[in-house]
Structure 1
Amino acid sequence: MDAQQFLAEFKHIAHAPEGVAKLREMIYQLAVTGSLTPRSEAGDNAGDLLIGIEVTRQRLILEKKYKCIPKLENEPVQAPSDVELPQSWRWTRLLDIGEINPRNQAPDEEVAAFIPMRGIPQFHHDALVAETRKWGEIKRGYTHFANGDVILAKITPCFENGKSAAVSDIPGDLGIGAGTTELHVFRPVHEGVLPDYVYIYLRSPFFTNEGKKSMTGTAGQKRLSVDYFATRAFPLPPTEEQGRIVAKVDELMALCDKLEMQKKEYRRLQNALRQATLKTVSSAGSPHELQESWATLEENFEQLFSAPEDVKQLKGTLLDLAVSGRLFPRERWRECSGLELLESISNARRHWAECSEGQEYKEAKSMLKKLRAQHANVPASQLPEHWAWATLLQVSQAVVDCHNKTAPYVTDGIPLVRTTDICDGQMNLSNTKRVSEETYAYWARRMPPKSGDIFFSREAPMGEAAIVPEGEKVCLGQRMMLIRLFPSLFNNRFLLYVILSPSFQEQMLGTAVGMAVKHLRVGGVEGLMVPVPPKPEQDQIVEAVDYLFEICDAYTGQLNSKQKKAETFAMTAVSTLTGITTGQEEEQPVKAPHTELVAKLCLGQTPDIKTQAPLATVLARHDGEMSAKNLWQRFGGEIDAFYAQLKTEISHGWILEPEPAEVREVGSEEDGA
C-alpha cells in the first residue's frame, strides 16, 4: 500500500475521535500477524532462525552470560487459535529468543546513561531522553539496559499509554544504561531478531489488550507481570521479513503523523474561524449587524462547530449578548428602569432590617454597613439607557461567606456543596460529602441556605455558580459563598447567567488575587459589577436564553451522536481488518425507529424566539421541509424523545401533520421484495 492509497483509504477513520490512534493500532496488529507486507517467496523460514537462536542461547548459558528463568522455560508456547501466521513464520516467546531483564557489567567509573520514566517516549520511535552518570552511581537499585535492548513500562498508566523504546544511541562509551525500576527489558541473543520488530510487537493490540487484562495490583499501582511479558506468544518472521515490516510500519506511522498534523491544522483553523465569527456576533453595533452576523454563523454552523465543547463558546456569546441588553430592541422596556429597581431593592433591604431579629437582624445590619462603605468601579461597557450598573452587594438581600473550618463528614446526612460539586451552572448532589444535622446547624447559623439561593465559588475553581434546587436541604462548603436575592425584585437565573457570562468571568480574573492559585476575596466578590435591567426584562431575557440554550443542547447532542457514530465506525472498521476486539458487543446498540415517515415533514407556523419548538426551528433553517430521519439525526438523542417532541409540535401547528398512510414499518419494502 503506497502513501496515496493509505491516505485515501483511511482518512475517514482518521477523522473520528481517536481515529489516528486506531489506525496506529491497526498498523501494529497487521504487522505482527503477517498482513501488512507481501509474503516472502524466498526459502527463508523462521524455524531455521529459531534453531540458530537456540544454539546461541545454549552457548551463552554455558558461558554463564545468560540469566535463565527455569519456572517459565518449562511451559509450552500458548499459540492463539484465532491468528493464522504465514507458513514461514513461527510461534515462540521472548523468553526463548532473548534474555529477560538482563544485568550489565562495567567498571564503576565508566559513563553510562540514566533514564527515568519521564525520559521514556510514549509515541512511535520518539527519542529517549537520557542524562549521563557514573555507572557506579546507578548500577544498584535500577533496571539495566543497553543499546539493542527493548524496554517496556510495566506500571499503570505508563503501560497503557505505550511507553516503550528500542534502545539505541544512548550516551556513554559502553552503550549501557539504567533507569526506573518500572520496566521490563528484552535483550535479543541473536542478530536475526530485530529489536525494532520486537518493539512493534510490544505496541500491538495483540500484546497490549491481553496485557491490560492480566495486570495485577491495586488501582493506580497495577503492573504487568514478568510472566506475561516473557511468555506471551510471539509471532516470529524470518529476519529479512522483519526488516521489511519495520520499514513499512515506519512509513505508515509517518503518514499517520501527517494525518494527525492535518487534523490539528484543520482544528486550529476551524477554532480561529469560529472565534472570529462569534466575535463578530458579540460586537455587533446594531440589530441589523447582529442579524447579519448571526445569519452567517447559522449558515456555516457545520463548518464552525464539530465538537460538543465548541458549542460552549456559542453559549458564552449568547450570554454576553443577553447580559449587555442586545438580545432585544433597547426601547422594549422604557417604561421602567434599572435605577428604579435598585431603589426598590434598597427599600426592601431596609424593611428586612427593620422586621428581622436575631441572626437575621445582624446580617441585615452588616449588609447596610457594608453598602455605606462600598465604592463601585463602574465598567466602561455601555448598557441600554434604562439599565444600570450595580455591585453584587447592591442587588442582593445578603451575601454570606462559607465557614472556614474543615467539616467532619458522615456517611448519611446533609449534602455539603463544595466547589467540585458545581459546574457549568449546575449543582450535582449525587456524589457530595455529607455532614450531620449538628454540623449543619452550626455552619448555617448565619444564613441557612434555601431553594433559589445561588452558591458561588471564589476559589479552585473560581467563578462557578449554581442555584440551590427546589426542595433540597444543603450546606455551604468551604471556599463557597451564598448569594440571596429578593425573588420578587431580581431574577436569580438572570444573575446566574450574568455570573456565567465570559465578560463577568473576565471581570473576576481582573479582581482575583494570588500567584499559584487565583482566588477572590470576600470583598472582591461583593464589589463585582452586575448589569441591572428592569425585572420584566430580566424575565424575558431568561426565557430567551433558556430557549436558545435548549437549541445549543440539541446541537451538542447531535455532535455527541455524530462523534460516537464516527468512533464506532472507526472501531468496527479496524476490528474487521485486524480482528482486534473492540468491546462494542458490550454496549447497547443504537436505538432505531420501528416506523418510518415516508413523506417529508413540513413546517407549519414558524416559531418565534420564545417558543419551545426545536424541530420546527431546524425545519425553518432548511427551507421548511426535511425527511423524518434527517430531522431526527439533527435533533440528536433517543428516537422516543424525538417522536414525543414531534407529536408536541404537530399538535401546536408548528409542523404540519403527515398523512397516516405515509407511515410504514421499517424494512417493510425489503420484506415484501
Structure 2
Amino acid sequence: MNAARLLEHFERIAEAPNAIPRLRKFILDLAVRGKLVEQDSNDEPASELLRKIKNEKDRLVKIRCIKKARSINKLQDEDIPYDLPHGWKWSQLSEIGVISPRNDIDDKREIAFVPMKMIPAEYGVKHDAEIKLWSEIKTGFTHFAEGDVALAKITPCFENGKSTVFSKLPGGFGAGTTELHVVRPFFVSQNYVLIYLKSPQFIGTGIPKMTGTAGQKRVSTEYFSNSPFPLPPLTEQHRIVAKVDELMALCDRLEATQAKRESRRNRLATASLKRIGQPEAVGNGEEFQGNVRFHLHHLPRLTTRPEHVKELRQTILNLAVRGKLVPQDPNDRVKKIDIIRLVKGERKARGFPLEISSGSFSSFGVDVDSVNIPISWELMKLSEIVLAVVDCPHSTPSWADSGAICVRTSQFKPGFLDLSNSRYVSIETYRERIQRIEPQEDDILYSREGGILGVACRVPKQVNLCLGQRMLLLRSTSVCLATYIEIVLNSPFINSLAQKQTTGGAAPRINVSLVKSYPIPLPPLAEQNQIVAKVDELMNLCDQLEVQLATSQRRRSRLLEATLCEALGVTCMPVARPTRPTPSPVLSAPPRSESPFEVQSLRLVDTPKAAVQGSLVEQPKSPTTSPRAAGNDIPGAILAQMQPGQDYSRAQLVDALGLSVYEWNMAIRELKESGRVVQTGERRGAKYQVA
C-alpha cells in the first residue's frame, strides 16, 4: 500500500462512518496476517528464530536470570485462526518471551511510574511517565523494564486497545498500574508485538473471553500468554513495523485533511443557516430568498451527517415562528383584545377557569417591541391563548404489567409521542392521575424537567393515557392550533428562553408559571394552517434526507473494506459478504423558483452517476455493454467466462463482465472459499483457474 494509491481512493472512503479509524484497524489486521509487505525467501525463517529464543531462555535459566517457565500448552489445529505465509510460524507470547518479569534494583533509584491514564490506546503514541523512588512503588504494582510490552487487561481499556512498548524509561526500569499484563520478548521486535496486541483479531477474540463482573472484567493471563501469535522472520518484522509506521503517518495526514474539510463544511452550513434564520431579516425580501436558494442549491454538500439534518429542522421551526416560511395576507391581522375575549368565552363554555395566572415577558428579558415578527401577528403569553396549563401529579406512578398507558418524558420526541415502549398503571391509578385533567386527542404534552427539558408533542388519536412525572399538559383553543403551539414550543426561540430560566442544577427544570408566560408569536388562524402545512412538507423532506443518509452510510460501510482492499492491493478480506449495492438516491439541486421554500424543487432522484461529493457508491455498468449475470449471480457469471485449465487475470474478468471492485472482491472470495476457483500468485500478479 502506498500513499498515492490510498489518496486516489480517499475521496471514495472518507464519507464512510469512522473511515480513518477503520483504516487503521485494517492496516494492523493485514500486518499480522502477512499481507502488508512482501515475503522474502532469503529471510531466516521464524522456526530458526524460535530455536534461538529457546536457547537464550535456557541460558538465562541456567545462570538464574529468569525462572524456568511452566510448560506451555501447545496450539491445536482448532486454535489456529488463519493460514500464515511461508516462513512464518504460529507461536505464543509465553514462548517468545518472559511473562510478568520482576525487577531487582536499589530502593533509592529513581525510576518510571506509569498509571493507566498514561498508557495510550492509539498506535504510534508514546506513553508518559512520572518519576518515583523504587522503594515507593516496588510492591503493589506491576514491574517492567526498557523494551517490555504491556497490555491493559481491564474493561474498557482492553477493548480500546490500550497497550504500549516501554521506552526511554527514567532509570531503565519502571512500575505501574496493576491492571497490566507484561511480556519481555527475546529476539522479536517489540513494536511488532505491539501491533499484534492492538490488532482486531487479538482484541476481538479476547473480549468474549473476559471474566469478572460488569465494569470489572479482565483478560486472563492465560489468554495473554498462550493465544496464537503469528511470528514472521525477524527481518520481515522490521519491514512490517516500518510499513505500519508509514501508513499510520499517512492516516494522520488523511485525518487532518478530513477534519479540515469537515470544519470548512460545518462553518459554511452554519453560516448559511444563520443567514436564513437571523431575526433582523424579516419578511421574504430578495436577500432572504437568495439566502434560502443558496442553502437549498448546496443542500447535498451541506447535509452529509444526521446532525446537519437536525440543524435544518431547527432552522425550519425558527423560520416558522418568525413569519418567514409563508407569505402574509395584509388583510388578515390578529388583534390581542379579540383573542383574549374569545379564549375567555371558550373557557367559560367548557368549564375552565377564566383567568390563568402567569408572569410577564420581562421574566425572560424579552421586550415585546424587540421581537421581530410580521406586523399582522401579535406576541402573546401562552396562558392567553390556551384553555388550560395543567401540571402532572407530583408522585411516582405505581407501575403495572397491563392497564392504562402512563407516559414518561423519555417517550417525548419533538412533534411525536413514541408509544412503542409504553409502561402501564392500573385503572385505579389511572383514575387518580387524571383527576386534574384527562388527556385527550391533540392535547400538548411538554417536558419541563430533566435532560430532555423543552420537548413538545401531541396526544395521538384513540389513545387513553395519563401523565407521568416532569411534564405539563396544554389544551388549545379555536384561536390557536395545537399543531402550531407544538411547533412554537419546539422552536429554538422558546428553547433558548427556557434554557436561560432553568433551575435545579444537575436536574434542570423550568417553573410552571414561567411556561405560562412563554411569549408566543401568534399569526392569524388561516396563516397558522399554512405554516403547519409547510412545516409538515419540509419535515417530510428532512425525513427523506435522514433515510438517504442512513442508507448511504450503510452502503459506504460495506464498500469501505472493498475500497481498502483495492488500495492495499489484496484480493480478499476477512469480512462477511454483504449484498450487492444498488444505485443510491441523491439530492438534485433545485431550479430557481419564486418561492424559496418550494418542497417540490428539492427532490430525491435516481441517477446513474453519484452526484453527491464524496459518494462511495459504485454504480453498476450498463447491461447493454457487458454480459451481466441473471439474478445478479456474479460468481456464476465469472465461472461462465472461465475455461478449465486456462489462467485469467482479474482485469480480464472484471472488464469482460463490467464488474465494480466491490462486486469482484465479494464474488472471488466466495468462489475461493467454496473451492470452485483457485488462485496462483499474489496481489497484482494473481491468476485464477477453475478448480
Identity %: 35
| Whole-angstrom CA distance in 2 between matches of 1:372 and 1:277 | 36
Q: Secondary structure at the match of 2:537?
A: helix
Residue deviations 1:251-295 (CA, integer Å, cap 9, x gap): 110110111111111111101101111122223444233322222
- The within-5 A match list for 1:634-673 is none
Match of 1:643 in 2: none
Residue deviations 1:134-156 (CA, integer Å, cap 9, x gap): 44444444433333222222333
| Whole-angstrom CA distance in 2 between matches of 1:579 and 1:66 | 43
How many angstroms does 1:461 deviate by? 2.3
Residue 567 to residue 169, structure 1, CA distance change in 2 (3 Å): same
Amino acid in structure 2 at the alignment position of 1:405: S
| Whole-angstrom CA distance in 2 between matches of 1:118 and 1:399 | 51
**Partner residue of 1:185 out of 179, 182, 185:** 182
Residue deviations 1:500-520 (CA, integer Å, cap 9, x gap): 111221122222235455432
Amino acid in structure 1 at the alignment position of 2:59: R
**Partner residue of 2:294 out of 293, 296, 299:** 296
- The within-5 A match list for 1:530-609 is 530-574=520-564, 577=570, 580-583=573-576
| Whole-angstrom CA distance in 1 between matches of 2:580 and 2:394 | 49
Structure 1, 283-292 or 384-393: larger mean CA deviation? 283-292
Residue deviations 1:153-210 (CA, integer Å, cap 9, x gap): 233332222222222234x4342112142x322221x2x2121110111112232232
Q: Are positions 1:249 and 2:244 aligned together? A: yes
Q: Secondary structure at the match of 1:462?
A: coil
Match of 1:28 in 2: 28
Structure 1, 87-96 or 194-203: larger mean CA deviation? 87-96
Residue 370 to residue 265, structure 1, CA distance change in 2 (3 Å): same
| Whole-angstrom CA distance in 2 between matches of 1:230 and 1:120 | 20
Residue 215 to residue 62, structure 1, CA distance change in 2 (3 Å): same
How many angstroms does 1:77 deviate by? 5.5
| Whole-angstrom CA distance in 2 between matches of 1:268 and 1:609 | 27
Residue deviations 1:445-493 (CA, integer Å, cap 9, x gap): 222333322222223222122212222233323322222222x332111
How many angstroms does 1:563 deviate by? 1.8
How many angstroms does 1:110 deviate by? 4.3
Match of 1:116 in 2: 115
Structure 1, 159-168 or 436-445: larger mean CA deviation? 436-445
Residue deviations 1:100-139 (CA, integer Å, cap 9, x gap): 2334344555444443333321212223243344444444
Residue deviations 1:230-260 (CA, integer Å, cap 9, x gap): 2222111222222221121111101101111
| Whole-angstrom CA distance in 2 between matches of 1:115 and 1:436 | 57
How many angstroms does 1:94 deviate by? 0.8
Could you tell me whether the CA contact under 8 Å between 1:146 and 1:176 is conserved in 2? yes
TM-score (norm: length of structure 2): 0.78
Structure 1, 78-87 or 33-42: larger mean CA deviation? 78-87
Match of 1:597 in 2: none
Q: Secondary structure at the match of 1:56?
A: helix
Match of 1:370 in 2: 357
Match of 2:391 in 1: 401
How many angstroms does 1:548 deviate by? 1.1
| Whole-angstrom CA distance in 2 between matches of 1:66 and 1:338 | 91
Match of 1:211 in 2: 206
Residue 66 to residue 529, structure 1, CA distance change in 2 (3 Å): farther
Match of 2:143 in 1: 144
| Whole-angstrom CA distance in 2 between matches of 1:51 and 1:250 | 29
Match of 1:331 in 2: 329
Match of 1:305 in 2: 303
Match of 1:382 in 2: 372
Could you tell me whether the CA contact under 8 Å between 1:79 and 1:233 is conserved in 2? no
How many angstroms does 1:93 deviate by? 0.9
Match of 1:263 in 2: 258
Match of 1:344 in 2: 342
Amino acid in structure 1 at the alignment position of 2:321: V
Match of 1:431 in 2: 421
Could you tell me whether the CA contact under 8 Å between 1:574 and 1:580 is conserved in 2? no
Amino acid in structure 2 at the alignment position of 1:28: L
Structure 1, 300-309 or 444-453: larger mean CA deviation? 444-453
Could you tell me whether the CA contact under 8 Å between 1:125 and 1:165 is conserved in 2? no
| Whole-angstrom CA distance in 1 between matches of 2:399 and 2:134 | 52
Amino acid in structure 2 at the alignment position of 1:207: F
Q: Secondary structure at the match of 2:497?
A: helix
| Whole-angstrom CA distance in 2 between matches of 1:412 and 1:583 | 42
Amino acid in structure 2 at the alignment position of 1:23: L
Residue 401 to residue 242, structure 1, CA distance change in 2 (3 Å): same
Residue 522 to residue 336, structure 1, CA distance change in 2 (3 Å): closer
| Whole-angstrom CA distance in 2 between matches of 1:180 and 1:438 | 56
| Whole-angstrom CA distance in 2 between matches of 1:13 and 1:546 | 34
Could you tell me whether the CA contact under 8 Å between 1:77 and 1:92 is conserved in 2? no
| Whole-angstrom CA distance in 1 between matches of 2:200 and 2:498 | 48
Amino acid in structure 2 at the alignment position of 1:561: T
Unaligned runs of 5+ in 1: 357-363, 594-602, 635-664
| Whole-angstrom CA distance in 2 between matches of 1:331 and 1:176 | 79
Amino acid in structure 1 at the alignment position of 2:277: S
TM-score (norm: length of structure 1): 0.80
Q: Are positions 1:472 and 2:471 aligned together? A: no
Q: Secondary structure at the match of 1:407?
A: coil
Match of 1:443 in 2: 433
Residue 503 to residue 570, structure 1, CA distance change in 2 (3 Å): same
Amino acid in structure 2 at the alignment position of 1:87: H
Residue 627 to residue 307, structure 1, CA distance change in 2 (3 Å): closer
Match of 1:494 in 2: 484
**How many residue pairs align between the two structures?**
605
Residue 65 to residue 446, structure 1, CA distance change in 2 (3 Å): farther
Match of 1:647 in 2: none
Residue 61 to residue 571, structure 1, CA distance change in 2 (3 Å): same
Structure 1, 530-539 or 375-384: larger mean CA deviation? 375-384
Match of 1:482 in 2: 473
Residue deviations 1:630-656 (CA, integer Å, cap 9, x gap): 89999xxxxxxxxxxxxxxxxxxxxxx
How many angstroms does 1:64 deviate by? 5.1
How many angstroms does 1:381 deviate by? 1.5
Unaligned runs of 5+ in 2: 585-589, 614-629, 641-656, 658-691
Match of 2:315 in 1: 317
Match of 2:687 in 1: none
| Whole-angstrom CA distance in 2 between matches of 1:19 and 1:630 | 22
How many angstroms does 1:92 deviate by? 0.8
Could you tell me whether the CA contact under 8 Å between 1:575 and 1:581 is conserved in 2? no
How many angstroms does 1:219 deviate by? 4.9
Could you tell me whether the CA contact under 8 Å between 1:194 and 1:243 is conserved in 2? yes
| Whole-angstrom CA distance in 1 between matches of 2:455 and 2:67 | 59
- The within-5 A match list for 1:509-528 is 509-528=499-518
| Whole-angstrom CA distance in 1 between matches of 2:159 and 2:56 | 34
Could you tell me whether the CA contact under 8 Å between 2:283 and 2:374 is conserved in 1? no
| Aligned-residue RMSD, C-alpha | 3.6
Match of 1:227 in 2: 222
| Whole-angstrom CA distance in 2 between matches of 1:472 and 1:538 | 26
Q: Are positions 1:14 and 2:14 aligned together? A: yes
Could you tell me whether the CA contact under 8 Å between 2:403 and 2:425 is conserved in 1? yes
Residue 95 to residue 269, structure 1, CA distance change in 2 (3 Å): same
| Whole-angstrom CA distance in 1 between matches of 2:325 and 2:234 | 71
